[in-house]
């Protein structure tokens, strides 16, 4: 929630320059308030687990949210009962005439396939086209991010011979960004994917900005300049044991391109509990995204299509700037010696 301060308080300009939401007395007496309407397109086979993970991070804020669930209509879930799907999920056709504050599109374990070989690719593209006019801001996860970057911006997927698997350091690339405000210079992000995106193509596209990046995992968080679309290549929403469960599942399948998860089990000993080292940044990212949507989305959701068409998202403050990292030198912790403070 924003901080309410007197109209002319000098701190207003300072906090605004740091992209901290400030509400003056004048705005406070005229604002309208309602719950955020968030739609979740769940592409994961483990739907109940994914619902729970995302509801946890979405609900851990002071903002009231109304969450609705959809899944591809042409794809039958093999791991979730039809009773559950019928009870809690809608089809896209049931929501396509509505507008939403936010849309979350999950990943899917299909990154080894060409996009056109995914059986719901056409419906995925249709939903993205719809979201570009009917959703204020969309956040894509893992394969969802890869597919959206390719379809919306021509960023090609890069296949890997071995899975990027474990918890990897990411370096903050923008000191004052709405989405990463409050992030440490280093954040840890779980990754579990057999593909990534062409980083050179991302950097060459001026509509996109890389917000976190790591030497082993590449871009972890990408966004459009107006934050209408956010792309998380990793899995900040993962729970403590998700990577362990995925590793057991992959080993049971006999997969040979999946390494032991890095930086996850203490001393690389799977008999010990995993170290839950990304929870704070996970909660912060989702709070920041929801807060940005809450502060900038129109009270009347029917205004969203016109705002998207006119590219007038955001507030009257300048939100489009060249990303500037927190460091002035080229120091990269974790590359040679742990945090650079202790001997690695």
Q: Which of 123, 237, 246, 281 is an active site residue?
A: 237
Decide: helix, strand or coil at residue 195: strand
Q: What's the sign of the alpha-carbon dihedral 207, 183, 331, 334? A: negative
Residues in contact with 275: Cβ distance below 8 Å, sequence separation at least 6, in sequence order:
167, 264, 265, 266
The whole-angstrom separation of Cα 6 and Cα 27 is 10
Helix (H, G, I), strand (E, B) or coil at 37: strand
Contacts of 291 (CB under 8 A, 6+ apart): 1, 21, 61, 63, 178
Give dist(CA 173, CA 116) in Å, integer. 33
Residue at token pair 């504050």: 101
Q: Which of 123, 134, 177, 235 is catalytic?
A: 235
177 carries an active-site annotation: no
142 is catalytic: yes
Residue 163 near residue 262 (C-beta atoms within 8 A): no
Q: What is the dihedral of CA 171, 174, 175, 181, to 10 degrees?
A: -90
The neighbour count for residue 3, using CB atoms within 10 Å, is 11
- The active-site residue, picked from 51, 123, 134, 142, is 142
**Tokens (6 digits) for 335:** 């590359």
Q: Clarify whether 237 is annotated catalytic.
A: yes
* Residues that are catalytic: 142, 235, 237
């Amino acid at each position: 929630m924003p901080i309410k301060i007197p109209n002319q308080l000098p701190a207003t300009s300072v906090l605004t320059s740091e992209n901290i939401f400030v509400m003056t007395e004048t705005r406070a007496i005229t604002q309208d308030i309602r719950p955020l309407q968030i739609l979740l397109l769940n592409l994961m086979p483990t739907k109940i687990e994914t619902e729970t993970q995302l509801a946890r991070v979405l609900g851990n804020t002071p903002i009231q949210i109304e969450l609705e669930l959809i899944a591809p209509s042409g794809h039958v879930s093999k791991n979730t009962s039809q009773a559950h799907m019928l009870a809690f999920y809608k089809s896209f056709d049931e929501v396509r005439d509505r507008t939403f504050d936010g849309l979350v599109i999950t990943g899917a374990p299909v990154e080894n396939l060409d996009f056109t070989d995914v059986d719901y690719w056409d419906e995925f593209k249709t939903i993205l086209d719809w979201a570009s006019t009917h959703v204020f801001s969309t956040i894509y996860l893992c394969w969802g991010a890869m597919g959206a970057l390719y379809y919306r911006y021509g960023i090609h997927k890069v296949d890997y011979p071995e899975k990027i698997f474990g918890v990897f350091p990411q370096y903050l690339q923008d000191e004052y960004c709405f989405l990463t405000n409050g992030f440490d210079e280093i954040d840890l992000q779980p990754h579990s994917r057999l593909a990534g995106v062409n980083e050179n193509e991302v950097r060459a596209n001026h509509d996109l900005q890389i917000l976190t990046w790591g030497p082993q995992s590449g871009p972890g968080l990408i966004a459009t300049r107006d934050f209408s679309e956010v792309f998380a290549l990793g899995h900040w929403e993962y729970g403590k044991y998700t990577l362990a469960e995925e590793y057991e599942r992959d080993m049971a399948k006999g997969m040979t391109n999946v390494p032991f998860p890095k930086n996850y089990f203490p001393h690389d000993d799977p008999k010990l509990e995993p170290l839950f080292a990304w929870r704070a940044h996970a909660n912060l990212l989702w709070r920041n995204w929801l807060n940005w949507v809450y502060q900038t989305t129109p009270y009347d959701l029917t205004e969203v299509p016109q705002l998207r068409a006119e590219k007038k998202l955001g507030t009257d403050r300048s939100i489009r700037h060249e990303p500037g990292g927190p460091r002035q030198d080229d120091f990269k912790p974790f590359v040679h010696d742990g945090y650079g403070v202790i001997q690695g």
